[in-house]
Amino acid sequence: MKYFLCIFLIVTSFLSYGQEVEANQQNETIPKKVSLHSWSYPSLSNGDTHSYFDLDYKLDSQLQLELRGFYDTYMLANVSKFNFRLKKYVSNKFYIFSGLGLEIEQAKYGLKSPKAIFNYSYGVGVDVNESIFIEARQQMQINKEVHGNYTLPKVFTLTGKYKF
pLDDT one-digit tens code per residue, 123-141: 999 999 888 999 999 999 9
pLDDT one-digit tens code per residue, 103-123: 999 988 888 888 899 999 999
Task: Give the pLDDT mean for 141-148.
Answer: 82
C-beta of residue 94 within 8 angstroms of C-beta of residue 85? no
Residue from 71, 63, 129, 68 nearest 97 by CA: 63
> What are the phi and psi torsion angles at 66 (to 5°)?
-135, 140
pLDDT at 64 over 90: yes
AA identity, residue 80 = S
Residue-level pLDDT at 30: 55
In CATH, the number for domain 32-162 is 2.40.160
Model confidence band, residue 20 (pLDDT cutoffs 50, 70, 90): very low
